[in-house]
Structure 1
Amino acid sequence: MTSASREPRRLAALALLLLAVGSGVFFLSGPRAPAPTPDSVEVTFTRQMIAHHAQAITMAGLIRQRSTDRTVRSAALDIQLSQEEQIRQMRGFLTVWKQPDTFQMSAAHSQMMGMASDAELRSLKTLPVPQAEVKFLQLMTRHHQGALHMIPPALQAEVLPQVRHLARQMQVVQGGEIRFMTSLLRARGAGLLPFPDMKMDMPGMEH
């Protein structure tokens, strides 16, 4: 196994370690805080990030069906597994808070979050495989950049510690994955996609 193919495994292991440490902090943190309200940073962040993660899982699955490149397939699998686990955790938060897992996302909001359009998702199915691999790396990098733009409100001191910890975990792991995918694009002679110059419409984010 090459050093490049080991990098996604290292990031996945880091995610699991951060999750384990954070869970211990959560359960030992003392009396339970009041449940957040529907318009709180915690609920808004959690709902939006579930929708955001769901598309990343879709993109990872699409490229894994077609690619034969071990490094790309490994990166896609690690993203898929880590984000599936985070979705389970976030849905657990919503269950405890007695909040529904519902979020209606407009096309404009999706674009602000760095997400792929329907046409871009279709391209992962229709482009020649080498081009589809490049497109996946570009789309997933932009997607992760969108996640990093969504995270700051959830890191505020007044946010529940379990949400702050999960947001910090996402920040560390997805930042590392961005660097790794950028290096794979560079090796293929490809660059990054432009990111929309917009603000997130989330509580705690300046407009």
Structure 2
Amino acid sequence: MHLNKRYPILAGLGITAVLTLSACGTDEAGSGASGGTSPTKSSMSENADAGQRGDVMFAQMMIPHHQQAVEMADQALQKDASPKVTELAEQIKAAQGPEIETMTKWLQEWKAPMTAEEGHGGHGGGGMMADGDMKDLSAASGAAFDEMWLTMMIEHHEGAVDMAGDVLKTTSNPEVKEMAQAIVDGQNKEIAIMKALL
């Protein structure tokens, strides 16, 4: 009250300053609010990117995984394995050969490399057999071969089912979903058959 009487201009300026600051505050809040939509858009974009990255990784890792399964199937067919193992080997080749071709086409369409970058879930996991395991399988014959082949293929299939299950959680691509689900369903059935044979 004392200041208002003695310095009316300052009092007026004070009010102006307060109003100006309030207006600035509103502007900042407004710009903050409009900027607040950015993180949502950004996270949506990141989720889409993550889905696409997941699709690429799935194809990059599943191709060599399938190729090894086909190689194991070829060994069974070359070694005159038991009729049940031979039937499974033919079934695996028939399913996984076309899937390799489809996934290779996807990577070409996506302009993605055929193999995953170093340190991004190397191909040693996911039920992949080591070179030593493949050599042991190649050296086996008769009932020992059948048992080793079934044991290794069960582990191999379980790895593929895990990878397919992972991509089903992230993908929005209907073709990827369809293949991943087919892998889960088909290979789970084969796992049950192979476990019964052991």
Query: Do both proteins adopt the same fold according to a TM-score greater than 0.5, normalized to the shorter chain?
Result: yes
* TM-aligned CA distance change 1:36 to 1:86, over 3 Å: farther
Structure exhibiting the larger radius of gyration computed from Cα positions: 2
What is the identity, as a one-letter code, of the residue corresponding to 1:154? V
In the other structure, the counterpart of 2:133 is 120
CA contact (8 A) 1:36 1:97 kept: no
For residues 193-204 of structure 1, what are the structure 2 equivalents within 5 Å?
Answer: none
CA contact (8 A) 1:51 1:103 kept: no
For residues 163-178 of structure 1, what are the structure 2 equivalents within 5 Å?
Answer: 163-178=176-191
In the other structure, the counterpart of 1:198 is none
Runs of 5+ unmatched residues, structure 2: 1-47
Runs of 5+ unmatched residues, structure 1: 1-34, 186-207
Partner SS, residue 114 of structure 1: coil
Of 60, 65, 68 in structure 2, the residue corresponding to residue 55 of structure 1 is: 68
Higher relative contact order (CA 8 A, sep 6+): 1
Equivalent pairs counted in the alignment come to 150
Task: Tell me whether 1:98 sits opposite 2:111 in the alignment.
Answer: yes
Task: Tell me whether 1:156 sits opposite 2:169 in the alignment.
Answer: yes
Give the CA deviation at 1:140: 0.4
CA contact (8 A) 2:66 2:96 kept: yes
What is the identity, as a one-letter code, of the residue corresponding to 2:54? V
- Mapped partners of 2:171, 2:159: distance in 1: 23
Partner SS, residue 102 of structure 1: coil
Give the CA deviation at 1:153: 2.6
Partner SS, residue 116 of structure 1: coil
Q: Deviations for 1:136-195, whole angstroms, at most 9, x for unmatched residues?
A: 00000000011111122311365211111110010000000000111111xxxxxxxxxx
Task: Tell me whether 1:82 sits opposite 2:95 in the alignment.
Answer: yes
In the other structure, the counterpart of 1:21 is none
CA contact (8 A) 2:127 2:156 kept: yes
- Mapped partners of 1:114, 1:130: distance in 2: 23
* TM-aligned CA distance change 1:109 to 1:93, over 3 Å: closer
Partner SS, residue 40 of structure 1: helix
- Mapped partners of 2:95, 2:114: distance in 1: 19
What TM-score, normalized to structure 2? 0.68
* TM-aligned CA distance change 1:143 to 1:97, over 3 Å: same
What is the identity, as a one-letter code, of the residue corresponding to 1:141? I
- Mapped partners of 2:142, 2:79: distance in 1: 7
* TM-aligned CA distance change 1:73 to 1:36, over 3 Å: farther
Give the CA deviation at 1:80: 1.3
CA contact (8 A) 2:73 2:90 kept: yes
* TM-aligned CA distance change 1:105 to 1:65, over 3 Å: farther
Give the CA deviation at 1:127: 1.7
- Mapped partners of 1:120, 1:141: distance in 2: 14
Deviating more after overlay: 117-126 vs 36-45: 36-45
More helix by share: 2
Partner SS, residue 98 of structure 1: coil
